[in-house]
């Protein structure tokens, strides 16, 4: 866009976007610290048009940001381009819950299990280092509980819940990769697993 003459048309609501920009820049909302990130997409219910968004805070393309960069101590080692970081919680709605809606006909009221998960040496936790037991997808997503998302994805892949109960026909990892690729991601040559 900076070098090619073009016109870009959007449904952006400038008043709404100004408010969102105020949040992202900490002008109208004070964050605890600069490490806290945020992301927002405002969608018009009737049409699905995107009317405003926040893509993150303190963003510099491939630069030194908390969302897409190395620790400050490693910047000189890696140059100005940082390193690719995992997308983390932003993909839970698509990978875990979206797949559960698509393949197992779950709803946001479906009960999932926020319980410990261990695979080899990998034993992830929730941000608050607690387990929340049986909970709805809605609550799990709202609270960004990692273990509920992992257990839900495992149900989609294997067809079994954490207690070994049948939850439907498991679709396997390859079907999940196809599902994710349909959103525009590229999982080719990716080591894709529950982690």
> pLDDT tens for residues 138-165?
999 999 999 999 999 999 999 999 889 9
Could you give the CA distance from residue 184 to residue 138 in angstroms, rounded to a whole number? Answer: 25
When pLDDT is cut at 50, 70 and 90, the band that residue 113 belongs to is very high
* CA distance readout (Å), 147 to 116, 180, 193: 7, 20, 14
Mean pLDDT lowest among 1-15, 27-41, 57-71, 168-182: 57-71
Q: For residue 183, what pLDDT is reported?
A: 81
Q: How many CA atoms lie within 13 A of 105 on its CB side?
A: 3
Q: Residue 173 phi/psi, 5° resolution?
A: -65, -40
Helix (H) / strand (E) containing 75? helix 75-78
Specify the range with the lowest mean pLDDT, choosing from 8-12, 108-112, 129-133. 8-12
Quote the CA–CA distance of 173 and 181 in Å, as a whole number.
12
Inform me whether the pLDDT recorded for 1 exceeds 50: yes
Helices (H) and strands (E) in the chain, counts: 7, 4
What is the C-alpha to C-alpha distance for residues 103 and 171, in angstroms, rounded to an integer?
8
Span between the terminal Cα atoms of the chain, in Å = 36
The pLDDT, as a whole number, for residue 61 is 53
Q: Quick check: pTM over 0.75?
A: no
Q: Determine the Cα–Cα distance for residues 128 and 108; give it in Å rounded to an integer.
A: 22
- pLDDT level of residue 59 (50, 70, 90 thresholds): low
Confidence of residue 64 (pLDDT cuts 50, 70, 90): very low
């Amino acid at each position: 866009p900076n070098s090619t003459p073009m016109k870009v048309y959007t449904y952006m609501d400038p008043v709404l976007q100004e408010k969102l920009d105020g949040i992202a820049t900490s002008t109208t909302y004070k964050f605890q610290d600069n490490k806290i990130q945020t992301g927002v997409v405002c969608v018009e219910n009737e049409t699905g048009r995107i009317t405003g968004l926040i893509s993150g805070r303190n963003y510099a393309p491939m630069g030194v940001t908390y969302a897409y960069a190395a620790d400050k101590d490693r910047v000189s080692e890696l140059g100005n381009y940082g390193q690719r970081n995992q997308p983390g919680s932003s993909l839970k709605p698509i990978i875990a819950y979206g797949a559960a809606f698509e393949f197992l006909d779950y709803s946001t009221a479906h009960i999932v299990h926020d319980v410990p998960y261990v695979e080899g040496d990998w034993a992830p936790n929730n941000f608050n280092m607690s387990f929340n037991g049986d909970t709805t997808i809605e609550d799990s997503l709202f609270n960004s509980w990692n273990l509920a998302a992992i257990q839900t994805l495992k149900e989609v892949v294997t067809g079994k819940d954490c207690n070994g109960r049948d939850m439907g026909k498991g679709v396997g990892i390859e079907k999940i990769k196809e599902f994710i690729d349909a959103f525009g991601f590229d999982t080719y040559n990716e080591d894709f697993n529950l982690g």
